[in-house]
A and B are shown apart, each in its own frame.
Chain A
Amino acid sequence: MHLEDLADKAAEFRAEEAAVEQEIRVCVAASCQSSGSVEVLAALRQAHPDGDQSCKVKGVGCMGLCSAGPLVAVADKGGELVDSILYRDVTPDDAPDIMGSVRGAPVERLRCPTEQPFFSRQHRIVLENSGIVDPVSFKGYVVAGGYAALLQAIIELTPAEVLHEVTTSGLRGRGGGGYPTGLKWSTVAKMPSGQKYVICNADEGDPGAFMDRAVLESDPHRVLEGMAIAAYAVGANKGFIYVRAEYPLAVERLRTAIRKAKRGGLLGSKIADTEFSFEIEVRLGAGAFVCGEETALMASIEGLRGQPRPRPPYPAESGLWGCPTLINNVETLANIPPIIREGGDWFASIGTERSKGTKVFALAGKIHNTGLIEVPMGTSLRDIIQVIGGGIPEAKAFKAVQTGGPSGGCIPERHLDIPVDYDSLKTLGTMMGSGGMIVMDETSSMVDVARYFMEFCMTESCGKCVPCRAGTQQMYGLLDRVARSQATRADLSLLEELCEVVQATSLCGLGQTAPNPVLSTLRYFRHEYEERLADASARASASRSHQDE
């Protein structure tokens, strides 16, 4: 398949649907599915008058506002989400009304305004097809311009030119670390040719994060396209996608997408009659958080226990089965096709000085609009939470926002005006992480939150190195004492000391960052710890005086 063939194909697919003017789009991503969108889709198909070619009912990916699901949008063909008429909390009984409204007045009782900031303030690059394109349709992706970037890369550009574009774009790893993607690719590309691998890290383990899930379920072909471009640039011919087994829908859609892309001649051997061949295999995780760490992930692909190993050597030099391996996160790879299509300079014009492009965030917890948003880097936290997220429900007061999962920290009200990028979050003692944002209101106790995350790290520790295995256990014990108001001041200082030791001496990221939630809550909410200590000493002296009597 050549670029012209792809354009012909896209035109052919478009012609098949030339009569379609309006689309009724039903979200069939996991969140809306669990609120019953499959039944809504079936009811709409049934209500659809036979022979009406001008209106098409189709399943699409995530539209973002998960808490209002099932979401249904009525839009002009190929139109943007913000220009559509959006309905929320739709039930199968609403299908005839929605169908009847297609060329008439909207069904006001179900309306979900798209002028609200939640939709209008977003800038969609990674999610540009999400909510518009049918995730199981190869045709839909091609019509939306898909795979043109891959063909452009392998036919018109040399691997070095692809690397140049990615480096110019300033894209940094979206999995949390923020390592420059261009640099990572160049390291693998520089290794002597031979067997190399590309791995897509879709082991989205951070509790409270569901960005990668949405991308995989809404636009799986784009991840494949990104991987193939990466493979071309670094000289790999085999790829693995490591997905959590907890995401069965994502696994199913990826497998379908791989099959269809192969049949379409866009994966497999000698793509577009070039020397470039690339195969992708899906590998399932098995419920181990530590497998999000790259060396542990590779061990798991090799069929071993998911335990990390010391770096260096980095995977770029010696990775899967000892071969040079490129590991990128889902969202990073999903950014690649637009970078090739529009150029690295275009991408670099979005975002801040040192953090380019956009970032997808998953808003959850005590916030009005739970769901997915994509905003340019540098948007302030206050904007994200108060304006786009719609603030805190039930007129409660905001207390903190937790970013970065179990490796991150909590940010209090007074720091809400900082722009969100990799570096500024670090100065606040937290990190970007993969993009989960959990909002807490005045009713949440920060000591309990710290204990929750420590319990998480304790059970998820793989047990290989002592500081993490024993340290998380001890820190959990101390936090539990604080939470139960049984701790002394000495316990608290022991806890702080342990935090430093575990941070400095653990083997991998899990242990090194496990103390972060404790340190950041101590930094901003020390008084909550102090209050529990006060309780403890009051109780101790009460029982002492009781004994004295």
Chain B
Amino acid sequence: MPLQQSRPPLPSADKRWKLVNATMRRNGYAGHALIETLHSVQDAFGFLDETSLRFVAASLDLPLSKVFGVATFYHIFMLKPKGRHACVVCTGTACYIKGAGALLEGIQERYGVDPGDTTEDDRLSVLTARCVGACGLAPAVVLDGSMIGKQTSDTLIAQLEELD
């Protein structure tokens, strides 16, 4: 009979670790729950840091290299913290045809950040997405989780300016 692996202790008293642990428990600590678990880490903490990757690897009894491999393979997982606000510009085909490029240029011109980067004051992260499925509203932007459609560079910058 294989030895029952002892689970590692939670990295800190932070309650969010309990959420992560709950996801793993629900899946019986099976290795195939890795992606689900990483999703729940990112939902709770906003990004994946080394502590969380080590904790997940030890809990699911997976090599750290494999966990790191999965975390870096999928675009959705972030290894760096995001700024206070996230602006995701859709670059799907419909948005591309209708001028998503101009939105990104406008942001670059105003804030000097490229997709994937965060402004120096940690105020705004700029990201791109491969089609958010709102092609009827092209070009679409997801600003802090809510979708805003039919944007121009001017209307988008105006909304970004209003963020605190």
A interface with B by C-beta (< 8 Å): 30-31, 33-35, 65-67, 69, 204-210, 213, 245-247, 283-289, 300-306, 362, 364-366, 370-371, 402, 405, 436, 438, 440, 444, 449, 452-453, 456, 460, 462
Contacts and interface: CB of A to CB of B under 8 A. Distances in A.
A206 B131 contact: yes
Given A438-B93, A452-B93, A306 B33 contact: no
Kindly list the 10 A-B residue pairs having the minimum CB-CB distance in the complex, ordered from nearest.
A66-B136, A207-B92, A34-B147, A286-B74, A364-B94, A364-B135, A287-B75, A208-B93, A287-B76, A207-B131
A209 B137 contact: no
14 contacts: A33-B147, A67-B136, A208-B92, A208-B93, A246-B133, A284-B35, A285-B76, A287-B74, A287-B76, A303-B30, A303-B31, A365-B94, A365-B98, A402-B93
Interface string B120-146: 000000000111111111101000001
Nearest to A402: B93
A208 B131 contact: yes
B17 interface: no
Contacts of A449: 97
Nearest to B67: A303
A205 B130 contact: yes
B35 A288 contact: no
A362 B135 CA distance: 8
Given A208-B131, A303-B31, A305-B74, 13 more contacts: A31-B137, A207-B130, A208-B92, A209-B133, A246-B130, A284-B36, A286-B39, A286-B76, A303-B36, A364-B136, A365-B135, A438-B94, A449-B97
Interface residues of B, number: 38
Contact of B73 (A302, A306, A365, A440): A306
B106 interface: no
Nearest to B138: A364
Contacts of B39: 245, 284, 286
A30 B94 contact: no
Interface of B: 30-36, 38-39, 69-70, 73-77, 91-94, 96-98, 129-138, 140, 146-149
Nearest to A33: B147
A246 B70 CA distance: 18
Contacts of A283: 35-36
A304 B60 CA distance: 13
Most buried by A among B32, B70, B77, B131: B131
Given A364-B135, A364-B136, A30 B147 contact: yes
A382 to B, nearest CB: 20
Contact of B133 (A69, A210, A287): A210
B28 to A, nearest CB: 12
A213 B133 contact: yes
A365 B138 CA distance: 8
Contact of A365 (B93, B129, B132): B93
B35 A286 contact: yes
A286 B146 CA distance: 19
A67 B76 contact: no
Contact of A288 (B74, B91, B146, B149): B74
Contact of A31 (B31, B32, B136, B146): B136
Contacts of B137: 31, 34-35, 66-67, 69
A441 to B, nearest CB: 9
Contacts of A286: 35, 38-39, 74-77
A62 to B, nearest CB: 10
B70 A30 contact: no
Chain B CB within 10 Å — which of A207, A301, A444 has the most?
A207
Nearest to A463: B73
A246 B132 contact: yes
Contacts of B149: 31, 34-35
A52 to B, nearest CB: 32
A303 B134 contact: no
B108 to A, nearest CB: 17
Given A66-B136, A284-B36, A303-B35, A207 B93 contact: yes
A449 B73 CA distance: 26
Nearest to B77: A286
